[in-house]
Amino acid sequence: MQAIVITGTPGTGKSRLAKLLKQKLKHAELVTVNEFAIKHKLVMGKDEFGASIINTKKLAKLLNELVRRSKQTIILEGHLLCDMKIKNAKVIVLREHLKTLKRRMEQRGYEKRKIYDNLVAEATDYCGTEASKRYKQVGEFLSSDPKLLEKVLQFIKQGKKEEDIDLLDELLSLMKQERNFSL
Ligand SMILES: Nc1ncnc2c1ncn2[C@@H]1O[C@H](COP(=O)(O)OP(=O)(O)OP(=O)(O)O)[C@@H](O)[C@H]1O
Ligand SMILES: [Mg+2]
C-alpha cells in the first residue's frame, strides 16, 4: 500500500501534522516511528544527550513489511525516516523558522548543545538533503504555514511541490545576536 512519510528535525511539528492528515484521509493508519521502535525493541542505547539510539536498518525492514502488508494508506512520522528508505513513499519534510524551533526546544528543557546541533541540522536542511538521496517524491513544507494541510494534500494527491525553503540566513542572524550561541 501507499506510505506517506512525515519527517523533519525535532520539534518541527511532525506529530501535529500526522494527526491532522490522519483525520483528513479517514482510512489511513498512523505509525509513530519512535514508539514503533520501542515496541519492537530496536533501541540499542542512549546518545550523549540521553536520546535513544535506534537500529535503523531493522526498523526500515519492519516498516517496509508493515507497509507492504497493509490494506490502507500508512502515515509514518519521525525524524529517523529521512535516514532510511521506505518503498513507494511520498515524503513530506517539515521545516520551521529557527527562532520558533529554538523556543520549542528550550521549553522542552533541551541542553544548549543539543539545541544548537538541531538548529544547525535544520538550517542546513539535513532531513531534506538525506531524504532526497533516498526517495524520489520529496516535498518540503513550512510547518507554520497556515495553508500547510492544504499544500500537503495537494502534494499527496497531485505531486505539487513548494519552492525551496532556505533558513541559512536565520542561522547567521542567531549567531550574530547570541555571541555564545554555539557553546
Ligand atoms: N504549525 C504549528 N503551529 C503552532 N504550533 C505548532 C505547529 N507545529 C507544531 N507546533 C507545536 O510545536 C510543538 C512540537 O510539535 P510536534 O510535537 O508535532 O513536533 P515533532 O516534530 O513531532 O517533534 P518530535 O521530533 O520531538 O517528535 C508542539 O507543542 C506543537 O503543538
Ligand atoms: Mg513527534
Q: What is the pLDDT of residues 153-183, one digit of tens each?
A: 999 999 988 888 999 999 999 988 887 676 5
> Is residue 99 in some structural domain?
yes
| Mean local confidence (pLDDT), 121-148 | 97
User: Around Cβ 84, how many Cβ atoms within 10 Å?
Assistant: 21
> Is residue 67 in some structural domain?
yes
Task: Check pocket membership of 144 for ligand 1, CB cut-off 6 A.
Answer: yes
> Is residue 169 in some structural domain?
yes
> Is residue 108 in some structural domain?
yes
Task: Check pocket membership of 128 for ligand 1, CB cut-off 6 A.
Answer: no
How many distinct structural domains can be found in the chain?
1
Domain span including residue 83: 3-177
Ligand 1 binding pocket mutation candidate from 5, 7, 15 (most atoms within 8 A of CB): 15
pLDDT of residue 124: 97
> Is residue 182 in some structural domain?
no
> Is residue 106 in some structural domain?
yes
pTM for the predicted model, two decimal places: 0.96
> Is residue 21 in some structural domain?
yes
Q: Residue 8 belongs to a domain with what CATH number?
A: 3.40.50.300
Residue 99: φ, ψ to 5°: -60, -40
Ligand 1 atom nearest residue 148's Cα: 1
> Is residue 183 in some structural domain?
no
CA-wise closest residue to 12 among 91, 67, 90, 78: 78
Task: Check pocket membership of 102 for ligand 1, CB cut-off 6 A.
Answer: no
